[in-house]
Structure 1
Amino acid sequence: MRTWQRPYSLDVATGFAVLGLVAVAGLATFFAIMYVRGQLPTPVAILLAVWLAGAVAVTARHAMLGVYVSDGGIRSRSLLRTATVPWASVAEIHSGTATMAGFDMGRVAIVIERTDGVSIQTPLQRGDLFRPFTFRPELGRLATWPEHYDEILTTLRAHHHDAQRRRTASTALPAPPPAATRPMNPSAGAGRARAARDALTAEQRRDIHALTRQHQRGALTDIEFAAELAKIQDTD
């Protein structure tokens, strides 16, 4: 997953924001047609154009509110700020107190804890179906219903866990095998080694292969490897 995407279904507020964006675009088209036909004075058209431009910008930004994930990290988009954190810098994703300008909003929100101790509050908040006034967006926040909130939090934690697992697996990969060690006396032993390879039996080749693997893993030193190899080659 190289592109940024929301790993959850859209909430009601975001759905209305998308519809609002379509409605504003349609209204702008209507006013443009009226201006072209001369039915709209120029000062009024300029005022409406400025208002519609601001409405489009705010509505489009509101439609993009939420939390996005990719293979590289997690991104929180609020109305005025976008914060991106690589998965390696994410310590935890949990529920925390929803605040605005330092004031408690009486709800909980999804919070991204960075490894450096900085907390990033996302715009996703847990609404309350029994208190309708808390179940609505407030100044760039998205208060979704409790079940949807819990689903989003579980999904984001799963993405964080998968990222940790991938990072652990990549760091646990075995180191590339060391370069093949040259014979201690290549000029004297080259002819003998070539003749020995030609005369090796299937069992000897299997033993040499196993011995070479042990040497590559570091189980045998160069001297031990050379001694064991000589024993196998000298075996009739």
Structure 2
Amino acid sequence: MPLPFLTADRALQADGRADPVPPPSHGPDHWRRPYRPGPWRVGTAAVFLLLASFVLFSALIIALAGSPAGAAVCAAVGLVVIALALRLVRVGIWVSARGLRQVQLLRTTTLPWSAVAAVRTVQQPVRWLGWPRTVQGQALHVERVRTEPLRTLLTDHNADFLGRPRTFARAADVLEAWAAEYRAR
């Protein structure tokens, strides 16, 4: 069964340069992530799904014991944990011919390409796996045309790229190429 949110489109040409032009089979509303989710993100989602299985199993035991209200609460908690795990896998940057979409755990920000002034990689202190601890690293920034910059899109120390610097560089190149291609239109 294909899981489109786990696959990254092959957005590189044979010589390694970014190719932002979408395949002809996809329309302008086809959102895609130009990189695969990292092992830290997938592992955390797997732990949440494991936790959800225990919670749902306990809901079954509570229901068999004769407490339907407690079983319903337990099942609702299990479903919330499953939704959280699925949303965690979808977190990241998505692009299409229409614009750039930053999916976070609880909210999504979509910018049309006309609102993007620049996409660039900068050296700065970045948060390690989103925790308060900072380390020196690279971050991908989006500057908006008339307002404050968008929150940092990607870092080389987040859950998708920790320990995979070449993957971060490739994803940053692809996102910069998409921005250069579609801002010109």
Q: TM-score, normalised by structure 2?
A: 0.65
Q: Residue 95 in 1 paired to residue 121 in 2? A: yes
Match of 1:109 in 2: 139
Give deviations 1:163-197, integer Å, cap 9, x for gaps.
Answer: 134x1xxxxxxxxxxxxxxxxxxxxxxxxxxxxxx
Cα separation, 1, equivalents of 2:153 and 2:53: 28
Q: Residue 5 in 1 paired to residue 35 in 2? A: no
The secondary structure found in structure 2 opposite 1:118 is coil
Q: TM-score, normalised by structure 1?
A: 0.53
Q: Which amino acid aligns with 2:144?
A: R
Cα separation, 1, equivalents of 2:80 and 2:172: 32
Q: Which amino acid aligns with 1:150?
A: A
Cα separation, 1, equivalents of 2:78 and 2:138: 34
Structure 1 unaligned residues grouped into runs of 5+: 128-135, 168-236
Q: How does 1:118-129 map to 2 (within 5 A)?
A: 118-127=148-157
Give deviations 1:90-111, integer Å, cap 9, x for gaps.
Answer: 11112344369xx783343322
Q: Residue 77 in 1 paired to residue 100 in 2? A: no
Q: Which amino acid aligns with 1:8?
A: Y
Q: How does 1:1-236 map to 2 (within 5 A)?
A: 1=27, 2-20=29-47, 22-24=49-51, 26-27=53-54, 29-36=56-63, 38-39=64-65, 41-42=67-68, 44-96=70-122, 97=124, 98=126, 105-106=134-135, 107-127=137-157, 137=159, 142-144=160-162, 145-165=164-184, 167=185
Q: Which amino acid aligns with 1:108?
A: Q
Whether the aligned pair in 2 keeps the contact of 1:5 and 1:69 (CA below 8 Å) is yes
Give deviations 1:135-187, integer Å, cap 9, x for gaps.
Answer: x64xxxx553211111110110111122134x1xxxxxxxxxxxxxxxxxxxx
Whether the aligned pair in 1 keeps the contact of 2:94 and 2:100 (CA below 8 Å) is yes
Q: Which has the higher contact order (CA 8 A, sep 6+)?
A: 2
Give deviations 1:11-49, integer Å, cap 9, x for gaps.
Answer: 11232244345435544553454344x147446535533
Whether the aligned pair in 1 keeps the contact of 2:161 and 2:167 (CA below 8 Å) is no
Match of 1:191 in 2: none
Give deviations 1:83-136, integer Å, cap 9, x for gaps.
Answer: 111111111112344369xx7833433221111142112452212xxxxxxxx6
Q: Percentage identity across aligned positions?
A: 23
Q: Where is the helix percentage greater, Structure 1 or Structure 2?
A: 1
Residues 66 and 120 of structure 1, relative CA distance in 2, 3 Å threshold: same
Whether the aligned pair in 1 keeps the contact of 2:121 and 2:139 (CA below 8 Å) is yes
Cα separation, 1, equivalents of 2:183 and 2:140: 19
Cα separation, 2, equivalents of 1:151 and 1:45: 47
Structure 2 unaligned residues grouped into runs of 5+: 1-26
